[in-house]
Chain A
Amino acid sequence: MKKAMVNQTECVACGVCKKVCPRQAITIFHGIYAEVNEDLCVGCRKCEKACPASVIQVVQKEVKA
Chain B
Amino acid sequence: MKKWNEYLWIFSALYLTLGFFNILFAWIGMICFITPLLLSIIGKGKLYCNSYCGRGQLFELLGDRLKLSSNRNIPAFLRSKWFRYGFLVFFMTMFGLMIFSTYLVFNGSNNLKEVVTLLWTIQLPWNWTNTSSVSPWIAQFAFGFYSVMLTSTILGLLTMIFFKPRSWCVYCPMGTMTQGISMLKYKKEINKIR
Contact = CB atoms under 8 A, between A and B. Distances in A.
| Tier of interface size on chain A | 20 to 34
B45 A12 contact: no
A19 B166 CA distance: 12
Contacts of A29: 45, 189
Interface string A34-63: 000000000000000111111100000000
Interface string B162-175: 01111111100001
A54 B73 contact: yes
| Tier of interface size on chain B | 35 or more
Interface in A11-27: 12-16, 18-19
A16 B178 contact: no
B40 interface: yes
B157 to A, nearest CB: 14
B179 A12 contact: yes
A14 B169 contact: yes
Nearest to B159: A52
Interface residues of chain A: helix, strand, loop or mixed (majority):
loop
**Residue picked from A15, A31, A49, most chain B C-beta under 10 Å:** A31
Contacts of A51: 164
Contacts of A31: 40, 44-47, 49-50, 178-179, 181-182
B189 A30 contact: yes
**Residue picked from A29, A32, A49, most chain B C-beta under 10 Å:** A32
A32 to B, nearest CB: 5
B74 A52 contact: yes
Interface in B135-194: 163-170, 175-176, 178-179, 181-183, 185-186, 189-190
Given A13-B182, A18-B50, A54-B73, A32 B170 contact: no
21 contacts: A12-B169, A12-B175, A13-B175, A14-B49, A14-B50, A14-B56, A14-B175, A15-B50, A16-B56, A16-B60, A30-B185, A31-B40, A31-B47, A32-B186, A50-B164, A52-B164, A52-B165, A52-B170, A53-B74, A53-B79, A53-B170
